[in-house]
Structure 1
Amino acid sequence: MAIGAIVEDVGSVATLWRFPVKSMGGEQLNDVEVTERGVLGDRAYALIDRDTGKVVSAKSVRLFPKLLDCKAVFVEPPSRGGDLPPVQIQFPDSTTVRSDSGEVDRVLSAYFKRNVTLGRVAPDDFTIDQYHPDVEGADPAGNRDTVVAQKLGAALFAELGMESPVPVGSFFDVFPLSVLTTSTLAQLDEVQPQSRFDQRRFRMNVIVNTERPGFAENDWVGHELGLGKGARLKVALLDPRCVMTTLAQDGLPQDTDVLRALVRNNRMQVGDLGQFPCAGVYAVVAAPGTVRIGDRVVLN
């Protein structure tokens, strides 16, 4: 931190999330280890479609409509410096399978009726099938009610000719960590009370409780967030939102109006990529540390 830098207390850590398997339900935690690669154990696994070579995502709504109905948790907390423990996947009927089971791929393939494998390393050409809903203004390329093959992670940045903030082989879409404020959720509730802007729709790692009005995170890009006593994040980019925010999951209905509300109220320019409906921000880790519920969050 530069000498004389202005530090603003913006609130406290309200909720912490880790998603051990990409696009499955995750773990709400009291504390997390933030490493140079994001929350320890986050997006550690993903399903890979053996027939197409593509990474499976809930954004592939036509092929994998039941992905968000599955939940994934580590069988014991992962620790820095050690091997990640196995993950237990729970299906909607409460049956389970572990990642270290010899039957895991067979069980998952039977459930999804696709030939899938549970992977730990993303393909070099990390690609998903992304469905773009019929929402005007949601995609700057103009895609509506169609599926587009979308590169993600290090493959996306290679295509853009840019240095990647995530390592080759990781299952992060774009950046290693994401942050959302309660003020953004409250603003969305206010402008569209008929929809449910539950934090689970947004699949963020950190929810910050703040009293700043409106879409508070919009002003954070280019600044640094301090979480608790050690962890620091450099806010890199606004978080463009997609069909994921609209999908049904665990008591939440399917609701395309969630995305329409973001288009109407927070459609923002994202780098040189165009204007997207946004909620929250992406970040890279400037300094690792343990983050706990209730930790103060400061901006500088």
Structure 2
Amino acid sequence: MKSMLGESLASVVVTHAGLSGDRTHAVLDEEGAIGSAKHPRKWGHLLGCRSRVAEDDTVVVELPERTACTVGDPDLDARLSKLLGIQVCVIASAPAHSRLERAVPEYEGGVPDAMRASKSVDGTGEKITVGKVAPGTFFDYRRVHLVTTSSLTMLRSVCPAGDFDPRRFRPNLLVDTGELPPFAEDGWKGWRLRVGEALFRVLVPTPRCVVPTLGHDELKPDPGIMRAIAREHRVPVFDLGRPACFGLYLDVLEPGGIRLGDTITREDES
């Protein structure tokens, strides 16, 4: 479920749609906004919920009070509406005219320069920008997101008071890059990466939003996280200027299984 807590897996099947079970559902309000903690004043309580795929392939949502509801149960929509203070429902596909709202942080790099000029103030009093999810998905851009341990280690060194737990960044893949320098992944653009049975193509660095600064389960809010990234790593992305980036977006070239501990290797074009 988009913007709810996920789960760590020892193995997963990767399809052309991404990791099985990843963001197959989302919450939608009556005005067509898709629930995203990128607008925490409106949707932040979603991070107090946890979602998972059960053995029978049903999607189960555990609410903050530990009540568990299955997607399709009308009680789930009612409980989520009460939690968020607005009328919402759970959906399995994005309506054509749905939108995605993002809070605009004050620090430079916290939102792409090209988007900052379009900000407005919504009913919560928050400055936001409005965009769309990737067509046919609930992903912001591409279907797989990767971060590296080398870059996490560097960020911890420059901001030792920060809690750089990788869960804050909600990656699909956390890669142990050993002694590689921080942000070595910036040079991977266009590479084909084999992980287990699956093959990916590296696209672009991942522009970051406010979500890593928010509380995640037992992780406390930490507003310094994104300020550190904005200081250390603003890089060009398309026509978006130089947003604060951490991680990489990938596309799936070949589906297959991945297991914890699989090696990651570069494959040249045949």
| TM-score of the superposed pair, with normalisation by structure 2 | 0.91
What is aligned with 2:149? 182
Native 8 Å contact 1:86 1:100 kept in 2: no
What is aligned with 1:121? 93
Q: Is 1:227 paired with 2:208?
A: no
What is aligned with 1:150? 131
Alignment equivalent of 1:280, drawn from 222, 247, 252:
247
Taking the TM superposition and a 5 Å limit, the aligned residue runs for 1:1-300 are: 21-50=1-30, 52-76=31-55, 85-139=57-111, 140-141=113-114, 142=116, 146-154=127-135, 168=136, 170-211=137-178, 212-228=180-196, 230-300=197-267
Native 8 Å contact 1:180 1:204 kept in 2: yes
What is the identity, as a one-letter code, of the residue corresponding to 1:273?
A: L
User: Using the alignment, how far apart are the partners of 2:65 and 2:140 within structure 1?
Assistant: 29
Q: Secondary structure at the match of 2:235?
A: strand
User: Using the alignment, how far apart are the partners of 1:252 and 1:216 within structure 2?
Assistant: 27
What is the identity, as a one-letter code, of the residue corresponding to 2:167?
A: R
* Deviation of the 1:91 alpha carbon: 1.6
* Deviation of the 1:115 alpha carbon: 0.5
Question: In the TM superposition, what whole-angstrom CA distance separates every residue of 1:34-53 from its partner, at most 9, and x where no partner exists?
Answer: 11111011100000002x11
What is aligned with 2:123? none
Question: In the TM superposition, what whole-angstrom CA distance separates every residue of 1:3-35 from its partner, at most 9, and x where no partner exists?
Answer: xxxxxxxxxxxxxxxxxx000000110001011
Q: Secondary structure at the match of 2:42?
A: coil
What is the identity, as a one-letter code, of the residue corresponding to 2:69?
A: V
* Deviation of the 1:104 alpha carbon: 1.9
* Deviation of the 1:220 alpha carbon: 1.0
What is the identity, as a one-letter code, of the residue corresponding to 1:178?
A: H
What is the identity, as a one-letter code, of the residue corresponding to 2:156?
A: D
* Deviation of the 1:92 alpha carbon: 1.9
What is the identity, as a one-letter code, of the residue corresponding to 2:84?
A: F
The number of aligned residues is 257
* Deviation of the 1:117 alpha carbon: 0.4
Q: Secondary structure at the match of 1:107?
A: helix
User: Using the alignment, how far apart are the partners of 1:39 and 1:113 within structure 2?
Assistant: 31
Moved more, 86-95 or 137-146: 137-146
Identity of aligned residues (%): 36
User: Using the alignment, how far apart are the partners of 2:139 and 2:255 within structure 1?
Assistant: 18
* Deviation of the 1:72 alpha carbon: 0.4
User: Using the alignment, how far apart are the partners of 1:104 and 1:254 within structure 2?
Assistant: 27
Native 8 Å contact 1:180 1:206 kept in 2: yes
Q: 1:176 to 1:88 in 2, by over 3 A?
A: same
Moved more, 24-33 or 92-101: 92-101
| TM-score of the superposed pair, with normalisation by structure 1 | 0.82
What is aligned with 2:122? none
* Deviation of the 1:114 alpha carbon: 1.1
What is the identity, as a one-letter code, of the residue corresponding to 2:106?
A: D
Native 8 Å contact 1:178 1:280 kept in 2: yes
Q: Secondary structure at the match of 1:65?
A: helix
What residue ranges of structure 1 are gaps of 5+ in the alignment? 1-20, 78-84, 155-167
